[in-house]
Structure 1
Amino acid sequence: MMAATLLPAQPAAAQPVPLVEETFTGATSVPEFVAVGSACLTGAPPATPGTGSHPLTGCPEGAAGPVPPTGGAPFGYLQLTSADNNQTAAVLYDEPIASEQGLDVTFEQWQYGNTSDVPADGISFFLIDGTATPEEPGAFGGSLGYAQKRPNDDPANPFENGIDQGYVGVGLDVLGNYFGDWEQRGMGCAERSPAGTVFRSPAPGPNMVTVRGPGNGTQGYCFLTATTSNLTTTGPWPSTLPGNLHGPTRVVDDDPQQAQDDLEESRRTVNVRITPAPDPVLTVSIDFNDGDGMQQVLSTPAPTPVPSTYKFGFAASTGLFTDVHLIRNVVVRPVLEQPALTLTKRVAGGLPSDPVPVGTTVRYEYEVANTGNMDITDLVVNDDVVGVADCGTEPVTLNVGERITCTGAYVVTEEDAARGSVTNVATATGMADATVVNSPESQVTIEVAEQEEGELDLVKSVADARPYRPGNRVVYRYVVTNNSTGTVNDVRIEDSHVTRIRCRATTLAPGASTTCRGIFVVPAGTADECERSGCRFSITNTAVARAGDLTSATATATIRVVQKPHHCRPGKKPHHGTKPKCGHAGRSESRTPIADATGLPAAERATTTARPRPTP
């Protein structure tokens, strides 16, 4: 056995994000908490607790002792027991947690209000195998809802099982019987409690933190260690705790908020920490609400082997002697810092089905997810071809479970055509406190059309180069020339704006040309564009000609748009005066494309550029 040592609690370092945060002050709790026995919520309307494993509901009226008032939300508590005799209750967080992460649990507890001469019994924090879901708590009285018990050691009394598949039970033991092996606690264990198996009065380990190990049914739950300066078999066994687990509160008001004030003097804050498997260490620290803060009271190796997952919970019990047992403000974190980022890179709109020609602007999306247990700051996405991706306003913070999509663009070059493809690799990088976190690499490859000099030529133009207004029809002309040595078929134009383009001929002999025609209806600018550009902007669209396996170089054409006030979209009222306008002059800048390309790679998008309004 390892004796407990009193040490000052270590200062808090940066911690992983909580797995669980539950105040228990309301009328409900997170649904993963399930109750067995008398456990209930004082914040909920009064109710009779269910049988077996059941959701947390309200507490019964008329309970013994100075319990908090029912229906007390938002000043409620998790009530494990009232001051009635022979109660046992437990609350289990019914979701397994990987033991390789470890566990750090902080909670507030109240033990007060005994209706007997001696207060009893205590509260336990426990871990069970992650595959178990108990239907009943462990035994009442000195077993604290975790260990087994044969009441009064009387063979005529039936055995009460310990909690199903228990791994470790930390007893915050006011009375002191959890310390001893009387009533068959620890049955089947090779090493027994220092107090042995005999009945002792008074109880052998009052005001003590005692740890018991794995057990199931009537076997196990062996004594491991306790906060005493004497672990020999010769008593007494004085407690080394620097304060009292039991609180002095004797009266609780019927008003929920006043009741909270009445209970403040009995509040104790407990931290239980178990480091990651395979060689875990269990540490217990307590703030006795006496001004001395959190103090480490016990540290000991935790039992091995460790289950791959475990669930946590709280239990409490009364016997012949009683107390009220309450819990509040539970915060559970993994011990192990596991920051992690994932990155998925893709071409916006999907990979193009055809090889893209030289001059194509390929737009990429980078989806970054925080899949670890720590928040990530200063997030950056680096692409070995694009450079630094645009993730919005900097610096970028990504909280646990959050994701963000960044963007980037690349213009295909003749060198890419010579290689036949473009492959680029991206990585997301951020900081978890002082630790650099990198995602796995993510790459995308796009095929690039061969650059065959002059085999298919495209000239694009606007039929009328005048300024246009929203609603006007723009006629585009496309001249396609076959410079190859063979006849080409299926001549077609793909344009980022124009969807219905007709060609006079779709088959061209060597040296032949054809003219194609398409119409585009000018859209209205947004109110923000009016504000930025003084209702003047330009629209540039991109096209390629295709014929069989041949693809031309890209060709562009630009129109100028002048927008009157009444064309402003909802949300921006036109100014009225001697010079109609819907905004003020602004600097040139790009906006979201008006339309996606049809038939073009998703990267070939429209670009709309605001034009500064001339100064009168």
Structure 2
Amino acid sequence: MRVRKTIAAIAVMAAGVGVALEATAPPAGAEGQAGGSAPAGIPAVLMNESFRGAELHYDFTLLGQAGLTNASGGDHAPKVGTSTKHDQEGARRGAPPFNPDPQANPGYLQLTDNNHDKVGGVVYNHPLPTSGGLDVTFEMYQYNSTTTNTPHAADGIGFFISDGGVDLTAPGAYGGSLGYAQKSFEGVPGVAGGYLGIGFDVLGNYIQDGTEGRGYTNGKPGVRRSPTGQAWGQNVANTITLRGPGNGLNGYEYLTSTYKTITSPTETTAPLGPKQLGAPTVTTPELAKRLVRVTLSPELRPLVRVYVEFDPSADSVDEGDLVLAYRMPDDVRAMPSTFKFGFAGSTGDMTDVHLIRNLEVSTLVSPPAGLDLAKDVVVDPTTPAATLPSTYQVGDVVHYKFTATNSGQVTLTNVRISDRFKLDSISPGSYDSLAPGKSETFIGTYTIKESDVPADWDGTSAFELENVALAVSNETASPDDHAFVTVDPPDECDPAAPGCVEEPDPDPSDLPEAIPLPPVGGTPSALGIAGFSAAAALTAYLIVTRRMTGRRVP
């Protein structure tokens, strides 16, 4: 489901010149891939991850007890908590159960279930360009609290953006810091290289500074202070709050919030009122869905906009769903040239289920031209005499050649490939620089998997396997390019493989007895009857003696 809309013209000040931009949605890509090649003026889809299945389509790192609800086990499945204060009742209490059919029962990224003292997050530790701005959409679910008899459910969900040049392997402090900011009083650092943290705060601690030492530098409160009370019990539930750049135990200062109405040239916020970020008494996620859109304009001091559609039945976000707009101030660091990002959620003495689904990351506007990609299927370069197969089968290795060309006027840095598939290998991993007009090549391999087979495949005809990739640099990203291979059904299969049925050897006792042919010159009636009997015997023999090692059933 595509959370997209047309947003009214945004005034962007670039180099002192006002430029009117209309951010219109690009065509949605399929699961795990970018959208179609976009003409000038159309944003580029950088990532499309639904979290609905048992596997991740991009190289995310799951943290804490987070997992995919449709993963039955292993690293991708939700984990049991480690609380020493509260007993843990499994890894999915109150959350959607495992379902083996993601098409009929799509899954979620589970940050936490509703056990006490659960923590979970996910980070994407690969830089993406900011030159076209950012446009991030996702579905958020906070529901099914076990502590509805207390004043609040807890804690909330944090979405954060960090500097793409800094390694992102862990969130910030959990709890009231929502995985972005620090807890100075406990010595717990915030996100490394943090640029912006947005807290969708059901409990209301993220807005506070003094309870846990958020927004502090060198052990002292920062320049920008939260307008709320600083003591426990003075939290402001059901708020969306922005915190700024930080690293380690320093920074992450309060920027703005929906705590109160603000209207100024650089800021617009309003209390959410009766609209609730969570649905603590609801027991199924469908009734707790909130569609979220976050945009950052392509500027050194970007305009940040947050939209939330609170109607669980809605499938789009429009201008009327704007809840917060804020211009990043001049005295904080500029927007980095590349970014990384993540989500986090947690529970404590109070609980909620926290889920994310249908994430899409795009540029807000068409990125500057400068990088093109050509992707081709090639022979194995280690065997020069090989010829390119006309068809492939599951288990075969496909070799791809990626040619990245700098079509712009400036040198690109850290040029690399972002592929729909998790490639088995790619060489080299990146190029440090690519001068204007120059090209470089990458060679990647991918093993065709059973999971690549279409759900509606009949098992008897060939199908086309499409792979999509784009070239990415620290300055820009290319339009995507597609490569196809034809995958044939196997003539034989391993009887131990799923969907393979072994047929037994024929039993000699089942063979028909020989039927003598009539002598030449017999009567027409005798010849006809005998001839028909012989044909029938031959047909029966062929049927019985037909044997395959195995056949794959759809």
Short-chain TM bin = 0.5 to 0.7
* CA apart distance, 1:84: 2.4
CA distance in 2, matches of 1:240, 1:309: 32
Matching residue's letter, 2:47: V
Tell me what 1:13 maps to. Answer: 24
The SS at the match of 2:350 is coil
SS in 2 for 1:142: helix
Q: Within 5 Å, give how 1:326-475 maps onto structure 2.
A: 326-338=355-367, 340=369, 400-402=479-481
Q: Report the counterpart of residue 69 of structure 1 in structure 2.
A: 97
Q: Give unmatched runs, 5+ long, in structure 1.
A: 1-7, 50-55, 252-261, 345-366, 373-397, 405-616
Cα distance, 1:29 vs structure 2? 0.7
1:92-128 CA deviation, whole Å, 9 max, x = no partner? 1221112222110000010011112320111111101
Tell me the equivalent position of 1:245.
Answer: 277
Residue 90 of structure 1: aligned partner = 121
Instruction: Return the offset for 1:277.
Output: 2.8
CA distance in 2, matches of 1:193, 1:107: 27
Q: Secondary structure at the match of 2:291?
A: strand
AA matched with 2:168: P
Tell me what 2:293 maps to. Answer: 271
Partner of 2:203: 175
Partners of 1:342 and 1:146 in 2: CA distance? 33
Which of the residues 134, 138, 154 maps onto 1:107? 138
Deviations 1:350-371 (A, max 9, x none): xxxxxxxxxxxxxxxxx99998
Aligned CA distance change for structure 1 residues 277 and 231 (closer, same or farther; 3 Å): closer
Distance across 2 between alignment mates of 1:267 and 1:141: 22
- The question of whether the paired residues in 2 share the 8 Å contact of 1:125 and 1:314 is answered with yes
Where does residue 162 of structure 2 map in the other structure? 128
Give 3-state SS (helix, strand or coil) of 1:177's partner. coil
Kindly provide the CA deviation profile for residues 483-503 of structure 1, in whole angstroms up to 9, marking residues without a partner as x.
xxxxxxxxxxxxxxxxxxxxx
Structure 1 residue ranges (4+ consecutive) displaced by more than 6 angstroms after TM superposition: 341-344, 367-372
In 2, the alpha carbon distance for the partners of 1:119 and 1:164 equals: 28
Q: In structure 2, which of residues 311, 323, 342 is the aligned counterpart of residue 297 of structure 1?
A: 323
Q: CA separation in 2, counterparts of 1:238 and 1:14?
A: 26
Asked if 1 retains the 8 angstrom alpha-carbon contact of 2:123 and 2:169, the reply is: no
Question: Structure 1 residues 274, 79: closer, same or farther in 2, change over 3 A?
Answer: same
Partner Cα separation in structure 1 for residue 92 and residue 216 of structure 2: 33
Give the Cα separation in 2 of the matches to 1:368 and 1:187: 44
What's the CA shift for 1:323? 0.9
Q: Give, in whole Å, the separation in 1 of the partners of 2:172 and 2:133.
A: 24
Q: 293-302 or 263-272: which moved more?
A: 293-302
| Paired position in structure 2 for 1:218 | 249
| Equivalent of 2:56 in 16, 24, 29 | 29
Report if aligned partners of 1:24, 1:78 keep a CA contact under 8 Å in 2.
Answer: yes
Structure 1 residue 336, shift from structure 2 partner? 2.7
- Aligned equivalents of 2:333, 2:193: Cα separation in 1: 14
Tell me by how many angstroms 1:167 deviates: 0.7
Matched residue of 2:256: which SS? strand
Letter in 1 for 2:228: A
Q: Which structure has the bigger radius of gyration?
A: 1
- Report what 2:72 is aligned to: 45
Deviation at 1:289, TM superposition (A): 1.7
Report deviation, 1:147. Answer: 0.9
CA contact (8 A) 2:282 2:288 kept: no
Deviation, structure 1 residue 285: 0.4
Q: Deviations over 1:421-456 (max 9, x none)?
A: xxxxxxxxxxxxxxxxxxxxxxxxxxxxxxxxxxxx
302, 305, 322: which is aligned to 2:351?
322
Q: Which moved more, 1:111-120 or 1:332-341?
A: 332-341
- Separation in structure 2 between the aligned mates of residue 263 and residue 219 of structure 1, nearest angstrom: 37
Deviation at 1:222, TM superposition (A): 0.4
User: How far, CA to CA, are the matches of 2:177 and 2:68 in structure 1?
Assistant: 23
Give per-residue Cα distances to partners, 1:458-487, cap 9 Å, x unaligned. Answer: xxxxxxxxxxxxxxxxxxxxxxxxxxxxxx
Question: C-alpha displacement at 1:133, in angstroms?
Answer: 2.8
Match of 1:187 in 2: 216
Q: Which has the higher contact order (CA 8 A, sep 6+)?
A: 2
Structure 1 residues 144 and 42, CA, compared in 2 at 3 Å: closer, same or farther? Answer: same
- Match of residue 231, structure 2, among 194, 199, 205: 199
Instruction: Indicate conservation of the 8 Å contact 2:78/2:91, yes or no.
Output: no
Runs (5+) with no aligned partner, structure 2: 1-5, 9-21, 27-42, 81-88, 264-268, 374-402, 409-469, 471-477, 484-554
Give the length in aligned residue pairs: 321
Deviation of the 1:332 alpha carbon = 0.7
Contact 1:33–1:91 (8 Å) recurs in 2: yes
Give the letter aligned to residue 107 of structure 1: F
Q: CA deviation at 1:248?
A: 4.8
1:279 Cα offset (Å): 2.5
- Choose from 119, 122, 131 the match for 2:153: 119
CA distance in 2, matches of 1:308, 1:283: 19
- Give me the whole-angstrom Cα distance separating, in 1, the residues matched to 2:482 and 2:140: 37
Shift of 1:185: 0.9
Per-residue deviation, 1:319? 2.1
Q: Give me the whole-angstrom Cα distance separating, in 1, the residues matched to 2:125 and 2:255.
A: 26
Question: How many percent identity over aligned positions?
Answer: 41
- Contact (CA 8 Å) 1:187, 1:219: kept in 2 or not? yes
Q: How far has the Cα of 1:201 moved from its partner? A: 1.3
**Amino acid paired to 1:70:** F
